[in-house]
Structure formats: C-alpha cells, structure tokens
Amino acid sequence: PIAPYNPRNTDHPKDIEYRVEDRITEHSEDVQLKQSVLDETYNHRTGVERTNDAVKDCGLGHVRARGRVHARTEVFLALCLRLVIAITNYERGNEPGCEKL
C-alpha cells in the first residue's frame, strides 16, 4: 500500500511519508526502502487509477488482484483493453485518448 501517511488525528505522528514504510518497519528488519522509488511508484498511481476506471466503464467490474502474478496479468489485460478502446475511438473518428467508447 504505497499511499501517503496522514499524520492528522494523532498526538505522535510517525516520521514516515508512506504507509508502507511503517509496515516494513513492523514486519522486517533487513528490508530498506529507497525514497525515490517510493515517490516514483506513487506518482504512477494516476495511470493505474485511469486503467481501473476504464475496466469499470467497460463493465468488467473492479480490479482486485492479489499477488504479483495476478496483478501483472490483470494490468496486462487492462492495457490491452485500453488499446482496444483507443483503436475503436480512432476508427470512429473520436479522440483516441478518450477513455470511453
């Protein structure tokens, strides 16, 4: 869960930026996170959210993959779907970047 940590509603805020940092500290002693990688990963969330919305708009339900292999498969299929949407919009004379048909 690479999501921002919200220090509100606490008297003792943690010295972390992302919630995953706290989980790693709790459950592992030998794993270190590189802040630039966390920042880059978090900044890519917009593309993921747009893909999830495109999947929902096409009636395929919510994306709920657990585990790296399943998540990669779902992302691949969602990207294929976005490509189909772009090609269909282009052929219909619509804006290819539009997320809906």
4 by DSSP, 3-state: which?
A: strand
Cβ contact 98:89 at 8 Å: yes
Q: What amino acid occupies position 68?
A: R
Q: Which carries the bigger pLDDT value, residue 47 or residue 21?
A: 21
Q: What is the pTM of this model?
A: 0.45
pLDDT: which is higher, 98 or 35: 35
pLDDT above 80 for 80: yes
Average pLDDT, the chain: 79
Of the pLDDT bands very low, low, confident and very high (cuts 50, 70, 90), residue 88 is confident
CB-side neighbour CA atoms (13 Å) of 72: 3
Percent of the chain exceeding pLDDT 90 equals: 0
